[in-house]
Amino acid sequence: MPHLRTVKPVLRGLLGFEAGHYGPVQFSDIAAMPIRLGAAVRNARLFHPVGVLAKGAIERVAQHGSGLPIESSDIVGRLSKGVGLRSSVPDIVGLAWRMPALPSAATPWDVLLASTVADTRILLAPTTSWSGTTFSSLMPFRFEGEAWWLRARMTTQLSGSGVSMEVLTDQIDRGGIAFDIDQARGRGGFTPLARLTFTAVDDSAGDVAFDPTLHTPPGVHLMPRWLTDFRRAAYRRSREGRDAD
């Protein structure tokens, strides 16, 4: 159980008493309040609490100027389990990575994907295997007046069964893990965009708070805006609950 000194400040924040302020509260903040409390109680991420952080690279394979402005660069990323169940139990799994800021941007670019029903874009689904799972952005990106979706599929064949973090760590250390990253415009079909590879487990970075609602380049944003506002509040509440940057 968490110590009262951990939970009390969170409760004060939930009730609007934090730092003695009684300012207006957005609906998205109210809806996301349980996430902050849950993260404080667990002293960890409420969602995707179990994961492995790794260094790697992304290599653009699509023609430049075609689709989203993802460029080749070094990245840091995370593979994770949504609930953190035993490796033999189906779980929603996640893939996140952070790219350096583009020349005109003030922040890096974070992308978060989660496992979905095969050939769908928004239907979250638990999986029993890292290999063969489709990861989706769940929400499209607005860029140059068009809606763009992202998906990923692991191309590395892993040994063993289930969604074990130990298998991931071992494979990254032995030879790396690769993903094909595809993009689709609107309701159109997916085409190759980039290849992402994790090459080394990163034990030095601590708790990297990936946030695709805050960390996007100019001209790129998630849509619809009301759902983006809720996700932004949820990520912030989670960081506050576990005292992460």
- pLDDT tens sequence across 29-63: 433 333 333 333 334 444 547 889 999 999 999 99
How many whole angstroms separate alpha carbon 140 and alpha carbon 133? 19
pTM, to two decimals: 0.76
At 164-179, the pLDDT tens digits run 888 999 999 999 999 9
Place of tokens 């020349």: 103
At 61-105, the pLDDT tens digits run 999 999 999 999 999 999 998 776 666 788 889 999 999 998 877
| 141-143 and 146-154 strand pairing | antiparallel
Report yes or no: 72 and 195 within 8 Å, Cβ to Cβ.
no
The residue ranges of every structural domain in the chain are 50-223
Q: Does domain 50-223 have CATH number 1.10.1050.10?
A: no
How many whole angstroms separate alpha carbon 1 and alpha carbon 84? 18
On average, the pLDDT of the chain sits at 79
